[in-house]
Chains A and B, each alone.
Chain A
């Protein structure tokens, strides 16, 4: 059975040790190991091949930004890492363990991955605090009051504590997205996947959400971020990957990718962005 393997690799003492003052970011990484590694990942929807051999590795405490045109497969890639979509070929390793192997407990894997969606996806029938404590109480088995205390601490940290008893539809888009980030953080994930988390926001609300992500990066959170915010990607990323038609065409430090792209298609993509005034 490979199941005990998987849980032992992630579970372990790191998860059991909540830090009352705020979450310990960066997660359960055995020192020196890659947080995520994708090997020749293929994914199709019917006849449409969306990912065509992705190779990617994310080191602990690093921020990787995925850029690329709409439909290039950024969201699909993130969903595959979180096992929301099964891959057709290739492997995905989390902290050295193959999570695409048969018999892996997907719920155990997802516990260690926080994902934030473009459309927030908060639970509309629950208060902000309940949104945040649902995972810890029902998945990790944390006692209710303990989870609420930790959730409250997180909300305070991200300036949302007055909102904790409100329902999501009473919040602004920016607040909702920050709650969604906090909800993911409450699980003390080892890595965060962010899928265009500012695309659904009014321009004036974008910066408050980007601010939160910057804070996470500064605290050492490992993150894989799909984004259209090129300026942000340039500032925050340790590495930038340019995704085009399901393959990573170019990858490197942001300075190199943004100022001296090698690949012709990357140049074309960036030129269009610059022309649109978005960089």
Chain B
């Protein structure tokens, strides 16, 4: 479980996060949705300590995270897997080495063949078992995303962050990634946080959805309740999608 309260973050004189509080539950797929530029990626980066929030508190299963010493933060970070919005693959390493990398530095006790098996398994889950020898410069944007997902799940971390895992993917692959995220969340009972723009994902895997608007958390709840929302910006956000407009009409 990840709890955060009263997070504020400004860049210069621009307030990006305003008093954001919320809870991401364990064993559930927690989603963050919201328009572009509203601070979703910044929130993730505050939660993992890439940005230091100006004020507020972040707890990982009760363990204090922000403001703690480097050692303490590092310890918690070793339990975190993260997919960055741009993939963030190491461009001097092959697809296989990228996925292997966390194992090499964080799991030194694993044998070489165990690592290879694990890497193969993760690449198979994202449908890239044939591309493992390619370099990041030789694969497409969607493939880079999927390599990033494989790398994020390779450690079986307790906490999994995915920043837009299915942007730039075709509907079929996108669906497959959603299933993958849902499965590992339930299978390993981990805390998963997914930033997404994809309404299919929202309706499919949104067990705990947080809607951000202009740097604030303005709505949080289950996918089954989201269509009944009375929050105006969220209604606008949802009804921009034809599928949802139609669903609303018929219900």
- The answer to whether A binds B is no
Chain A contacts to B: CB under 8 angstroms? none
Chain B contacts to A: CB under 8 angstroms? none
